[in-house]
Amino acid sequence: MTPARALLWILLAFIAGVAVRSFATPHFFPIALTLAGAATACAMGVRHGSRILFLYGIFFLAFVGGILRFSSVESNHPDLQEWYGKTVSLRSVVIAEPETSQRAQMLQLRTEKINDTAASERFTVLVTMRPYPRYALGDELTLRGTLNEPQADETFNQRAMLARQNIFSVMTFPTVEKIAERKGSRLGLSLAYFRHNFENRLDAVLPEPHAALAKGLLLGEKSELPRELIADFQTTGTTHIIALSGYNITIVARILHDILLVLGISFFSAFWFSAGGIILFVLAVGPSASIVRAAIMGILVLVAQREGRAYRMTNALVLAGALMIFQNPFILRFDAAFQLSFLATLGLIYLAPHIEKRLDRIRIRTTIVITGALDTLGIRRQQTALSFPYRVALGGQKILAETIGAELMVLPLIVSLFGRISLISPITNLLVLAAVPYAMGTAFIAGIADVFWHPLGIATGVGAWLILSYLISVIRLFARLPGASIETDALVIIPLMLAYAALAGRFIFTYRRNKKHPD
């Protein structure tokens, strides 16, 4: 076993340990027994020169390490037991962009004082309050209400869902008083100011719901989208384009790369342009943990394309996932955005090339038929005239393959989360995703142009309006089709997982064959 392959299995063992611990809390005795056995295996492997025995010991140590890491993070939080269920006064600062809706707003606040006494350890509280007045990042507030512990039951584990954000207390509809503004990191406040100013510029150059859709594409802001349009996104399986997650960034970055290639940009330039675009995008919307994870996934897809061999990405992908999980073990089970990002990346790297090969056969046969028909009709073909449509068809083939690959990989998770399957998702995504980078680009240019001169922003916003209108029209049209999506029972996951197990076996076989014959 090569060192790279050994590292891969060690990382997978660590991830497996985190996964097991996220579902159950093992007793001390089996953990101690496993540790003792692993240590013994390592010692015997060193003593007898058995590399396999030593590696087995390391694997089990990594597995237990995953269990202990989850337990360590779970237990390492402020002790608020004495305050739970009591009416308290908090002095806190808003540390994240508020989540707003028509009925309420939710704020994450870092608390520095409880009942006018400095807290022994700062902690974050999630506060649900009335929709108005609006509050912003950096506002310092005093709140009076009941501090509660997040709850967990068989249907919903709020405690674990919030723990992944380092939140261990909640407060609902307290009495609020604003006492100061612009507290906290200057960089964070500057990025927030840029974001809000940019949102205002989009409102100035685009009508509704186009401006709201542009904010969803560029900033992941969905609160201003009409409910019926959000329902249409769900029906057509295109919600990911307005969710600022790795699924969005991964798909868009990959398609942007392919479009640049279709337009004749060199492979090297397209790679660096796309990677640079991801980094600038993260800086523009704010480098939160979820966005950084999404950016890592998007860049990994580009690296996989540059390498040209998917199996070389296995170690890098698992290493990136293991580092993220080590930093925050809760994301493995309780962060849907991370799960979608990881699965979509797997689909783009491993499934899409196989799908593209099959689509390529169809394209070649179609080209032969069309060429034969033209020759039969005595029509002289111009190579230059056919080159651009050929490249467009090739680009569409890549987009379709990547869409289907990503959709197949995230399908069990989507069924588990939402209980619905969109039957028209592949064709809708094919029509929509090809236009998303242009919609994002033109909307971004329109917003920036409006900063310098409003008439220029209006003029450049026409192009964004046309593309956004196309997106809205396609999504509304396909959402109205009979049987566009169907509700599914949770049991449908079983045959899906069996099918994926068969696919996993095939990929393992392919991986081993490529390792033996890399050329």
CA distance 282 to 285: 5
- The tokens of 412 are what? 């069990």
What SS3 class is residue 134? coil
CA distance 487 to 419: 6
pTM here?
0.73
Per the model's pLDDT, the better-predicted residue between 302 and 89 turns out to be 89
Per the model's pLDDT, the better-predicted residue between 22 and 367 turns out to be 22
Residue 215: count of CB within 10 angstroms of its CB: 24
- Residue closest to 338 by CA, chosen among 242, 270, 246, 428: 246
CA distance 79 to 147: 13
Residue 263: count of CB within 10 angstroms of its CB: 12
- The tokens of 360 are what? 């390529």
- Residue closest to 295 by CA, chosen among 268, 324, 315, 266: 324
What SS3 class is residue 170? strand
Contact 391, 397 (CB under 8 A): no
- Residue closest to 486 by CA, chosen among 287, 237, 302, 305: 237
Question: In the structure, what pLDDT confidence band is assigned to residue 17 with cuts at 50, 70 and 90?
Answer: very high
What SS3 class is residue 420? strand
Residue 385 has, within 13 A of its CA and on its CB side, a CA count of 4
What SS3 class is residue 47? helix
- What's the mean per-residue pLDDT of the chain? 79
pLDDT of residue 248: 58
CA distance 149 to 247: 31
Pair type for strands 86-94 and 105-114: antiparallel
Contact 341, 293 (CB under 8 A): yes
Distance from chain centroid for Cα 78: 29
- Residue closest to 321 by CA, chosen among 56, 4, 18: 18
Question: In the structure, what pLDDT confidence band is assigned to residue 63 with cuts at 50, 70 and 90?
Answer: very high
| pLDDT (mean) for 292-300 | 71
Question: Prior bond to 209 cis, omega within 30?
Answer: yes
- The tokens of 69 are what? 């890491």
pLDDT of residue 470: 93
pLDDT of residue 472: 92
CA distance 141 to 179: 6
Residue 121: count of CB within 10 angstroms of its CB: 9
CA distance 36 to 46: 15
pLDDT of residue 468: 93
Q: Is the pLDDT of residue 519 over 60?
A: no
Q: Is the pLDDT of residue 48 over 80?
A: yes
Question: Prior bond to 133 cis, omega within 30?
Answer: yes
| pLDDT (mean) for 327-333 | 86
CA distance 472 to 228: 11
> Residue 376 is which amino acid?
T
What SS3 class is residue 316? helix
The residues facing 133 across adjacent strands are: none
- The tokens of 451 are what? 């900063």
- The tokens of 19 are what? 């996964």
- The tokens of 503 are what? 């696919």
CA distance 125 to 107: 8
For 213, counting Cβ atoms within 10 Å of its Cβ (0-12 exposed, 13-18 middle, 19+ buried), the class is: buried
pLDDT of residue 507: 64
pLDDT of residue 466: 93
Highest mean pLDDT range out of 275-289, 315-329, 373-387, 426-440? 315-329
Pair type for strands 167-172 and 117-129: parallel
Q: Is the pLDDT of residue 394 over 60?
A: no
Distance from chain centroid for Cα 179: 36
Residues counted in the chain: 519
Per the model's pLDDT, the better-predicted residue between 337 and 468 turns out to be 468
CA distance 111 to 183: 13
Q: Which of 103-112, 124-133, 221-230, 504-513 has the lowest mean pLDDT?
A: 504-513
- Residue closest to 207 by CA, chosen among 449, 476, 477, 468: 468
DSSP-derived letter for residue 237 is T
Say how many Å lie between the first and final Cα of the chain, rounded. 20
> Residue 119 is which amino acid?
A
CA distance 237 to 240: 8
Q: Is the pLDDT of residue 263 over 80?
A: no
- The tokens of 44 are what? 């015997």
